[in-house]
Amino acid sequence: MRKVALLLAFTFAFQWAWAGVHKRVLMIIAHSNFRDEELFVTKGVLESCGALVDVVSNEAGVAKGMLGRTYRVERTYDEVNWDRYAAVVLVGGSGATVFWNDSRLQELIRWAYNRGKIVAAICLSPITLARAGVLKGKKATCWMSVGSMLSRYGAIYTGDDVVVSGRVVTAAGPFAADRFGRAICRLLGYR
């Protein structure tokens, strides 16, 4: 009887611990002029669905958003172990253009995508995904003024607010941040 009780207790503890496993998400912001809502709203949605979110940038220190909010960045995107993350999310804003020609970040994005991870980008950041080659032949969206750039790199620009194409999520701008976060949550397996 005692063995049965111990077995049941162990089984319950294992199931409880397993149910509490959180998936990690890596969010990448520009050190200057990231779009505030795209970071804070999306991050809030991801955390509310159960994800653990780490925010990195192209440089450490206090990053400043376009609307004046700040975020203390401890590490750069090149200083973290990308193996730990189930998803990589690029935040937009005018500062995100710094990543359009960032070959190292694009290499890491390709690596993540080729390893089965979710990749997502909002606003101006889908251009970085396109330049990394992960949007070729996929439906995608971005800030309207750069939609033709997505097409130039092989994506099928839709103009929709949020587009999910396999393991890739793109969104048009800050007004879609909540839906963007929810789409990523669904792909992570959260409800």
pLDDT digits (tens, 9 = 90+) for 35-76: 999 999 999 999 999 999 999 999 999 999 999 999 999 999
Q: Is the pLDDT of residue 6 over 90?
A: no
Confidence band for 191, pLDDT divided at 50, 70 and 90: confident
Confidence of residue 13 (pLDDT cuts 50, 70, 90): very low
Q: Specify the pLDDT at position 3.
A: 57
Q: Which residue has the higher pLDDT, 12 or 100?
A: 100
pLDDT of residue 12: 43
Give the whole-number percent of the chain exceeding pLDDT 90.
88
d(CA 118, CA 85): 9
**Dist CA 156 CA 100 (whole Å):** 18
Q: How far is the C-alpha of 47 from the C-alpha of 49, rounded, in Å?
A: 5
Predicted confidence at residue 92, as pLDDT, reads 98
Reported pTM? 0.89
pLDDT at site 20: 47
- Which run of H or E residues covers position 88? strand 87-90
pLDDT tens, position by position, 116-143: 999 999 999 999 999 999 999 999 999 9
For residues 106, 107, 108, 109, the Cα torsion angle rounded to the nearest 10 degrees is 50
Are 141 and 159 contacting, i.e. CB atoms less than 8 angstroms apart?
yes
Provide the token pair at 24: 């990690």
* pLDDT of 169 above 50: yes
